[in-house]
Structure formats: C-alpha cells, structure tokens
Chain A
Amino acid sequence: MSEPVELMDVDQALEQFDPAFGIEVHVELNTKTKMFCGCPTEFGAEPNTQVCPVCLGLPGALPVVNAKAIESAIRLGLALNCSIAPRSRFARKNYFYPDLAKDYQISQYDEPIAFDGYLDVELDDGTVVRVAIERAHMEEDAGKNVHVGGATGRIQGAEYSLVDYNRGGIPLVEIVTRTVEGMGERTAEVARAYVATVRDLAKALGISDVRMEEGSLRADVNLSLRAKAADGEDQHAVPLGKRSETKNVNSLRAVERSIRHEIGRQAALLAAGGAVTQETRHWHEDTSMTTPGRSKEEAEDYRYFPEPDLLPVAPSKEWIEELRGTLPESPALRRHRLQESWGYTDLEMRDAVNADALELIEATVAAGASAASARKWWMGELARTANNDGVELADLAATPAQVAELQGLVDSGRVNDQLARQVLEGVLAGEGSPGEVVAARGLEVVSDDGALLAAIDEALAAQPDVAAKIRDGKVQAAGAIVGAVMKATRGQADAARVRELVLTKFGLEG
C-alpha cells in the first residue's frame, strides 16, 4: 500500500484546515418481524433459522410492508423534526454481494419517508449544536458473511465465505445529516455527541435496541477538509476537499477516534502536496486506523429504480398527528427536568448519564427512595460491581424496587450502612429481596436495648480501665466500648444507640 502512515497532529491540522463531516446512522428497528416478511428478528439465533422465501429472494416471493416498521420510521422522523412525506416509495438498490440474497436491497431513493429535519445536540459543557438532517429513509438490512480460510478471518486471503441471512430483511432507518462545518477542534466531539443523541432518541422512542456492539446502531462517517483562507481571502471561496466515507464505526469512541484519525491523515496528505481520494474506508478498532476500500466513483452506481413489487406509502395527516402524540419527551429536556428535580450537580448528572443510570435512578426514586440515596447506590456499590463484572448496570440482578427497599431498611434503622452492603451482596447473588436476605442471613440491627446493655456490661467488664475513664467523664473513651459491642454483635448493633446507652449508664450526655 502506498499510503503515508504519517499522520499530522490533530491540533496542527486544525490550524491549517477546517473539517466538515456528515454522518449516516443506521438504526435497526426492534419490530418482531422483518421489513417485508413475517420472519422473526431475534438476535443470536442459529444461522438461517429466521428466513423464508421472501428474505432469501427466492423466485416468485413477494414482499409486504410491516406496518409497525412504517410507524417506527414516522415516529423517528417526527422526533428528528423532519417533514413526513405525504407519499413515499421504495426503490431497488442494485449491487452484487453474497449477503444480499436478491442482488438488490429494497431501500428508498428519491422519495424518503422523512426529510428536512434537525437534531439539537448537547455537548458535555452544555453547548448546544443544531445538526441539520437531510433525510431519514427506510431499508432492509443485509445478511452476514463469515470468511473462512486465511489467517485473520477477514475477506483478504479467505478461501470461501459462509452466509447467514437471519439479519437479511430486518428493518432499518438510515438517518443522513447535512454537512456539518465550522466546529473546529470540537468536530470529533460534536460527531460523537450527535450519534449518542440519536441513540438516546431511538431508545426513548422504544423503536430500537440501539446496541452498537450488536450492530443495531451503526455509523458511517464522511469527512473532508477545507483549507483555511489566507488573510483577506474569502473563506467561502476556498473549495471543500474530497471526502472519505469511513464504514464500520461501531462505538461512540470509534466515531470520535475515526474522525481524529481522518483529520490527521487527510491533513498530512494535503500538506505534502498530495490529494485525498474520494473513497470508502474501513475503520479498524484494534489499530485505530482506517484503510482504503473502493474508490467512490466506482461504487456509487447502484442503478436505483422504483420497486415494482411494493405500493407507495401515503400516511394520512391524522395518522401522522396521532403518532406525533406518542413522542416521548426529548432526552435533553428529560435530563434537565430530572437534574432539577433530583438536585444533582452537573458532574453527578453527567456521571449518571454516562453510566446509563437515569432510568434506574428514576425508577428507584419512584419506588420511594430519595434521589441522593438512589444515586449513592447506583453510582457507588452497584456501579463498582457492574464494572468489576464487565456488565451494564441494568443487567445486574438488583432491581430499582429492591434498591429502594434496601434504602428503606437503612432509613428505618433496621440495618446500618455496613449491614446494608451485605444485604446488597445477597440481593446481587440472587438470594431474594432485601427483606428476604435480612431474614435469611440474620442481618438485622440489634435494636433490643436489653441485648445491647448485656453486651455493654460485658465490654465494660473486659476493659475496666476504659470503664474508669468514662466514669471520670471522659466521653471519648466510650468509643472503645461501642467498638467492642459492634464487634460482639458482628456489626448488627446501631452504633449511635450503643453510644447513647453507654453514656446514659454513666449519667453523661453525648
């Protein structure tokens, strides 16, 4: 490969160039069945067990549109502030690749279902950037290839390939932005925040699982550079450079890193007097690099034409308005509302958002816990456990209702903080609700004064010197007795109550 491996430092590149980017996000809808047939859409099924003549492209099979997919596409379009086309149609996109059973993909071309919208994207510091949406159109997903032979499992060097069509025909909505320019050093951050916002929106709408690691949300990132105008020169007169389209950008981190990589790569090429090739590139997570694919001019001739087997989609105004009524609060508004009602600091809120804990905290508060205690559990002990186990918070065995119940036990004094952690351990181990764990493990605080007084007497007898000090009015010496009682009760005493009892015994005030 004759590609220069030298990258220009991104800061240096940004002094000379202004990046422009566009993003295509593919959102896989979570309908029960495929776009054009009744095959199920479960993730991870045995290969070719969710296929039929339609999605295998067998002769004579005819597609029929899934009403739920149309509904989801319209709701997503509305949430992206798009106009919904009173009439849109499907088109065939022709290309040859084994993951495409029919040798064409049913997509939309000149009449997308949604167009001309925008999405307000909030950055970490609260800055809001409005990203213009060109269109959102419906299409079907392709199957999956496995390459066999060769060392890497990649296409290069493979002897043959194996195809699973389970994913073929699952409905997708592809959201295409207009070009975003003038973001300078925040370019990569804006791109990442945009994809995160689309993810949150699709999740709030309930139309997709939006799991980037499972491919139900995928991004292609276009990037080009425009040289900064010399003094006195009109910036708008400087032409935009050729763009690369990076495919396979399948995590938020990769969105940010692939953009930085492309800025550095293109800047190095241009600064050395070279030219950027208009091409498709592939992102490699392992090496944090892009490598070239086909040149765009060759690839883009898809010979679209209207799909003759499908009728136009013409949603009525009434239906569109009905669907508009089902839109959830926007994720940004929701965050602001929750932060205000919970009284979290910006930092606390950001941590909760990044940990995907908002829903869990919200449900915990709804189950009766205070916002502060809900945060304490989810962002403390539970976040640590999830982190150690390498799972998401939501995948832990503890439910919001159980966390609220546990906090209730703490608030009522039935368990102290230390015992509460042991109770949580039991809940996470699947031993039942906090109440059940307390009963089964015998973790309740000893609140019976008689039992505590007996333990205090025992401790005083064992440490006569300490007893003498307390008798002399040395209040702080009581700590040693409290400690001994806590130890004797295996942490199940209420330390404050023990202290109170010790002092009362000697006629002292705390």
Chain B
Amino acid sequence: MSSISRDDVARLAQLARIDLSDVELDRLAGQLTAIVDAVAQVSQVATPDVPATSHPVPLTNVFRADEVRPPLGQEAALAAAPAAEGGRFRVPQIMGEEP
C-alpha cells in the first residue's frame, strides 16, 4: 500500500509554494496517506479489458481552425494587473534561476 511520509508532504508543499507548520505536516501526511490508499483501491478493480482513461468525455480531435481572433488589447490585458510598466506586467524581484 502506498504511504505518504512527512518528508513527501514537506517537499510537495515546497514545490507548490505552500508554507506549512510542523503540526500541519503531520496531520496532512496522515490524511494524504488515507486518500491515496483509498484511490489505490481503484487499481484492484482495473482489469486489462478496462482501458485507462484521463478524461470522462469519449471524444477526440476537438480542434479549431488556425484563424486569428481579435486579442484583448494591451490596456484591457493589463487592466487587472496589480502593477504594470511600459505595457508589461510588473512582478516582484525573481528569486532563483530561470526554469
């Protein structure tokens, strides 16, 4: 059975940029283990004749033609931005490297 350790939760929290206290880490490790184990039960009923699915809608190839639609315009695009400068979104100092 799968199990989510406290370290796993801490790492996920760090990747998701969520600040968790020690108490929360302990609590979530237990809860997430229960959730993952419950989901794992699905794999017991999955048999080779049941195709894996990532989507409940039985459709494929939903495409659009390569035709331009009018974009928002700079003013509208930046209207809800907390800060903007020279037509660009202004963001705080980036800590760390480019991805």
Task: Please report A residues at the B interface, Cβ cutoff 8 Å.
Answer: 31-33, 37-40, 46-53, 56, 64-70, 87, 89, 94-98, 145-148, 155, 158-165, 247, 280, 282, 293-294, 299, 301, 303, 306, 308, 311-315
Contact = CB atoms under 8 A, between A and B. Distances in A.
Given A47-B86, A56-B77, A306-B55, A158 B94 contact: yes
Contacts of B43: none
Nearest to A36: B64
**Which of A38, A48, A97, A155 is most buried by chain B, counting CB atoms within 10 A of its CB?**
A48
B54 A32 contact: no
Contacts of B64: 38, 64-67
Interface residues of B, number: 38
Nearest to B63: A67
A428 B51 CA distance: 64
Given A32-B66, A68-B66, A293 B98 contact: yes
Nearest to B78: A48
A155 B94 contact: yes
Contacts of B68: 32-33, 38-40
B55 A98 contact: no
B10 to A, nearest CB: 13
Nearest to B93: A160
Contacts of B59: 311
B92 interface: yes
Contact of B77 (A48, A89, A282): A48
A163 B88 contact: yes
Contact of B90 (A66, A160, A313): A160
B39 to A, nearest CB: 13
B97 A162 contact: no
A66 B63 contact: yes
Nearest to A312: B60
Contacts of A47: 74, 86-88
Interface string B81-99: 0000111111111101111
Given A69-B66, A89-B54, A158 B60 contact: no
B85 to A, nearest CB: 6
A31 B65 CA distance: 10
B91 to A, nearest CB: 4
